Structure formats: C-alpha cells, structure tokens
Structure 1
Amino acid sequence: MAPKTSPTPYDRARKAYSSLQYERLKADCQEYLPSVLLGGAKAVMKEAVSASPKDAEAIKKLFPSTCDIPLVEFEAGTPPAEKAPVKVGVVLSGGQAPGGHNVIAGIFDGIKAWNKESVMYGFLDGPHGVFAGNFVVITDEIMDGFRNTGGFDMLGSGRHKIETEEQFRDSMTVCNSIGLDGLVVIGGDDSNTNGAVLAEYFKANGCKTKVVGAPKTIDGDLKCPPHIPVSFGFDTACKTYATLVGNVAVDALSAQKYYHLVRLMGRSASNIALEVALLTRPNACLLGEEVAEGKQSLKDITMDLADMIEARSKDGKETTG
C-alpha cells in the first residue's frame, strides 16, 4: 500500500489542564537556551569524528555514504542575511522521557525564528508514521498547548523500526513529497541507530532530507562524551524517583519496624538506580551489572541483605531501613 502524502487533521489537543500545567504553559524557557544560540549562531564544519580502529572497517561497510561526513558545531556569530524557509519533520520514538515536548518546541521556535514561513511536520505514533505518511502540520496553537508539559501525547510514540526495503522506500517517498529539509528522530539508542540507517539510505539515494537524532532516554545509557554528555530525561527522572524514595525513607523512620525494597526501572544499565542511590543514600543498592559480574543468585543477594540487617541490628539500628 502506498503511503499517504497529505497531512492528517489534528485531533489530539488536550481538553483540560491543571493549575500547575497552566503555569507551565506560560513559563518562558529562553533563559535555559545555551548562550551560543542566543541572537543567532553559525554552523561550522569540523573534521569528521573518527571511529575506533577496531570498528572503523565495519562502520564504513555499514555506512559508506555517511561514515565520514563532517562534524557540525554551532558557534556564536551572525547568521546569513538570506534565510530561506525550511521544512522539518519530527518523530517521537520509544518510551517517554521528560522534556520531549520541549525538544519539539525548541525546534519549532528555532525554525520560525529562522524564517517565519518555515513549516514543521509531526509524524504520529512513532516511526510507523514516517513510512505510512501519517503526519500533521504543527501550528502555533498546537505547539502552545504542550509547552513545558510531560508526556509524549502531542504526537504519540511507538517502538516500530524502519527496517524493510519497502519501509525505507516509503519513508523517502513521504519525505520527498513533503519536501522535508530535515527529519529529527527523538529517541534512544535503538531509535538513533535506526535514524543513522535511514540517513544512510537517504544520502545513498539522493534524498535531500537530513536525518538528525535527539538523544532521549531516561536510562542514561546513550552517551558519547564530549558530543553527548547525557540524554535528556535522565536528570528529571532521577530527581523524581529520588523524591519518592526519600518519602519511603521518611516512612521507614516513622514506622520504626520495616525495611522497604524499592525497584527502579532500567534495563541492562543501572544508571538510574545508582544515581538515585547517590541522592538518597539507602542502606543497600543492588546494581544489575554487579549482580551479573559476580554471578550472584537470588540466595546470594538474600543472604547479603540479611547480613546487612543483622549488622545494623548489632549497631542498634534494627528498627530503620
């Protein structure tokens, strides 16, 4: 089935807001902009980021058209006088992370400041929306209804991948029909890998659409210092969890008779658990990587915790934990 190439009417506007959400909608986040983006910036081409020697050949084989493209950095300067309008698409991919709507808002505000005739398109419900051509035109009214708010409900997200030749071809057909100058994939490691493969396909087939990845994952497992020091969403998630764990700790002190076990999300990377532990100082913190490295069984972990409780009891701390 051929993909759609015309916009879908937007019907996902929020119907009601709390008083806190109203305050957030009105908040001005310009003060958080990096100084280099205030008053205009210029893009500077730098030398391509080289792959590690052991992976260089494999990467070149997988990404022959894009493996050696220049690194682009922004520097303070005067933007060009003639600024033609641009068309940019955005797609949310994978699980939710705090800040997703403001990433979209930042892109929207940026292209409108570049040229007020610029247009943003939002692909609905994840990567499937790209190759199916399920997209909307994002207007000021739509954008202003989601600024500074959580969730990914403005466009919806999904865990689909663009994998088959037909899906790559349909994605290019949709982007060409809209005339997209850029497509921003807001997602984690899998989503950005998929975006890199899509960028390779576009460049190899002469499509003008540039694919850009915005690193999103609350797990904090998408890093490439100094280029990606941290993914957005991680800090907010950790502080939110720390607040909840801190409340449990206060409850433990109040009850004077229980130990509480709190399970935090995180796949193979235990970055969230470790960061929250550093913020709240629990009596014990179990990290998946350490459990795997030590080949610990459930019995081993249980015995370690029991020994810790016994040691605390001997120190007169038996009633809190």
Structure 2
Amino acid sequence: MAAALVTNGDIPAPATGRVASIYSEVQASRIDHALPLPTVLRNPFKIVEGPPSSVAGNPDEIAKLFPQLFSQPSSLVVPSDFDSNDSQKKLKIGVVLSGGQAPRGHNVISGIFDYLQERAKGSVLYDFRGGPAGIMKDKYVELTPEYIYPYRNQWRSMIMCKDSCF
C-alpha cells in the first residue's frame, strides 16, 4: 500500500511507505485492532474556549517565535447535554510531538484521525514535521487514510519523526 501524502513543499513523500507485507505476525495482528473512543467523545460534547496559552519562562522570546500562537486561547472538549453543532464543523487540527519517541503516539494520532473521518467529515489533520521546529519552519503534511493505516498499533512513533525518517 503506497502512502499518499499532501505536503506543503519541500518535504519528500515516502517512496513506498510501510506495507503490511513486511509486518511480523504480531504487528499484522495489531494493525486492525479497534481502539476505544475516549468517553468525552462517545457522547454529545462541545468545544469551548479555554485559558490562553502560556510558558514557564522567556515569554517575550516565545511570543516573538510564535506570534500567531502565543497567548491564543486553548480549546477544551467538554461534555454537553445536547448534540451541538460543534461536532459538525470542519476542523483543521495540527499535531506535533516533541521530546523524542512517543510510545503509542500513533494510537493517539489514529484516534484523532478516525474521529475526524467519522464525526467531523471534511476536517483535516496535519502532522508538523520535526517537532516544534516544524511549526516554526512551516513543515507539515496532511495525514490521509493511506498514510495513517500502516502505523496503527505499531508501538514506535514514526509518523511524527524528523523529515529523514521516510
């Protein structure tokens, strides 16, 4: 299965991606294992504005590096008594992991992707390449079903690695 990628320019797409034919028996048995949806997403919910983003140190420097993000309100997903229209909105979500390998990171990314595909149709999930530097350098890929599938339940976090991983 070739990985389909939509990129913003200078990020090379994987030549062939990972394919199920190279998986061990254990990997193959895990790939289609369904993961439970978090409780807050199983029932009606709403997205509310949360507190502004903040930093522990050097706020002036961080504000210069991330002028479009610094001090912007966060978003919270909270239970709702009624099925709000928030779940019908088309969302654009960017995911960035930092600090090295993220065990089970693929499951989190796959879960966000699956939710968007099922309940917020037309939404887009982006992967910022190379950790926080990917945000500053505007390096991202749009994650697609073909791109996500080979990494499901595979333990190591390879989706969100530096550009040279693929």
Measured against the shorter chain, the TM-score band is 0.5 to 0.7
Whole-angstrom distance in 2 between the partners of 1:105 and 1:128: 22
Instruction: Looking at secondary structure, tell me which structure has more strand per residue.
Output: 2
Name the Cα RMSD after superposition: 3.5
- CA drift at 1:136: 1.7
- Conserved? CA contact 2:110–2:152, under 8 Å: yes
- CA drift at 1:43: 3.0
- CA drift at 1:114: 3.4
Counterparts in 2 of 1:113-132, with a 5 A limit? 113-132=118-137
Candidates 26, 32, 51, aligned match of 1:26: 32
- CA drift at 1:20: 0.8
Show CA shifts across 1:245-271 (max 9, x none). xxxxxxxxxxxxxxxxxxxxxxxxxxx
Length-normalised TM-score, structure 2: 0.67
Count of residue correspondences = 143
Counterparts in 2 of 1:127-276, with a 5 A limit? 127-157=132-162
- Conserved? CA contact 1:101–1:150, under 8 Å: yes
Q: Which residue of 2 aligns with 1:90?
A: 95
Task: Pick closer, same or farther for the CA change 1:18–1:35 going to 2, 3 Å.
Answer: same
Show CA shifts across 1:268-305 (max 9, x none). xxxxxxxxxxxxxxxxxxxxxxxxxxxxxxxxxxxxxx
* Percent of residue pairs bearing the same amino acid type: 32
Whole-angstrom distance in 1 between the partners of 2:119 and 2:30: 25
Q: Residue 96 of structure 2: SS of its match in structure 1?
A: strand
- CA drift at 1:82: 7.8
Whole-angstrom distance in 2 between the partners of 1:45 and 1:116: 22
Candidates 106, 114, 119, aligned match of 1:109: 114
Whole-angstrom distance in 2 between the partners of 1:85 and 1:71: 15
* Structure 1, gaps ≥5 residues long: 50-57, 159-321
Letter in 1 for 2:35: C
- CA drift at 1:8: 3.7
Whole-angstrom distance in 2 between the partners of 1:71 and 1:87: 13
* Structure 2, gaps ≥5 residues long: 1-6, 64-69
Whole-angstrom distance in 2 between the partners of 1:43 and 1:126: 25
Length-normalised TM-score, structure 1: 0.37
Whole-angstrom distance in 2 between the partners of 1:138 and 1:71: 21
Show CA shifts across 1:147-202 (max 9, x none). 111112123159xxxxxxxxxxxxxxxxxxxxxxxxxxxxxxxxxxxxxxxxxxxx
- Conserved? CA contact 2:43–2:79, under 8 Å: no
- CA drift at 1:62: 3.7
Whole-angstrom distance in 2 between the partners of 1:34 and 1:145: 22
- CA drift at 1:44: 4.8
